Amino acid sequence: MPKLKPQTRFLMRGSALLVGLLSLWWFLLLSPMLYMLKGAAGVFLPIQENASGDWTLRVPLERTLPATPQQPVAQQIHSIDFDMPRGDATAFTFSLPVYWAIILAAPGVRRNLRPLLVGTAVMAAVELAMLLVFAEISARNTAAQLAGGGGDVVAGWARLLGGYLLATVLPYATPFVVALSLHRGLREEIFPWSNVAEAPAPPPPVDRAQRRRAKKRRP
């Protein structure tokens, strides 16, 4: 039986671990992780959980809504409230089990312990930051709708792109970036040429004439 390449072994271990850890996350860890995420985000902005499990977030935002035919007097707002379905909040806990699967799939149990602990803290902070930025973008979108939908087209496009990246791209890409940044052995296994590039160059060969001259110079 031919020997499998390190990249192939990593993919096989990672696939099995990903299935197992995502199952564990969905059935056992999701509710506690959502609770801790809501508590951490609640330090920065008020969050209320409805009976259905959805969240109501209040984002501080100073805006002056222009007068409209329905509202002839301009209004000053200080915060925006919007609802976030439980499914949308779940996306901000998805990265952690993916990161665990990547790190645990790397060879060497002892070498994995430090990246596992440090990376878990980093991933938790990143997920919290992504949730807060997503809330800010959603609040600004709501304010733009209340103002009549006008405004800077470029800013609206940037908010749309930011919301898309935070909800559908970064939760999948961030675990790989953090894992490769913290785990040197994983980088060397996935990208073996990087280890070759970092290796010091061998010393130049010494010919026989140079060796003879060196012997003659010795006292």
Asked if 115 and 198 touch (Cβ cutoff 8 Å), the reply is: no
Give the Cα separation of 114 and 126 in Å (integer): 18
Give the Cα separation of 137 and 134 in Å (integer): 5
Residue 150 confidence (pLDDT):
57
Tell me the percentage of the chain whose pLDDT exceeds 90: 58
Asked if 122 and 180 touch (Cβ cutoff 8 Å), the reply is: no
What is the value of pTM for the model shown? 0.82
Number of H helices, E strands in the chain: 10, 3
CA-angle at 73, arms to 67 and 75, nearest 5°: 80
Residues 66-97: tens digit of each pLDDT: 776 666 777 888 999 999 999 999 999 999 99
pLDDT-based confidence at residue 197 (cuts at 50, 70, 90): very low
Give the Cα separation of 67 and 75 in Å (integer): 7
* Phi/psi at 112 (5° precision): -85, -15
Domain ranges of the chain: 6-45+91-198
Residues 153-163: tens digit of each pLDDT: 888 899 999 99
Q: How many CB atoms lie within 10 A of CB 105?
A: 21
User: Average pLDDT in the 51-57 region?
Assistant: 93
Residue 58 confidence (pLDDT):
95
Q: What angle, 0 to 180 degrees and rounded to 10, lies between the N-to-C axes of helices 170-182 and 95-105?
A: 30
Comparing CA positions, the residue from 76, 113, 93, 107 lying closest to residue 175 is 93
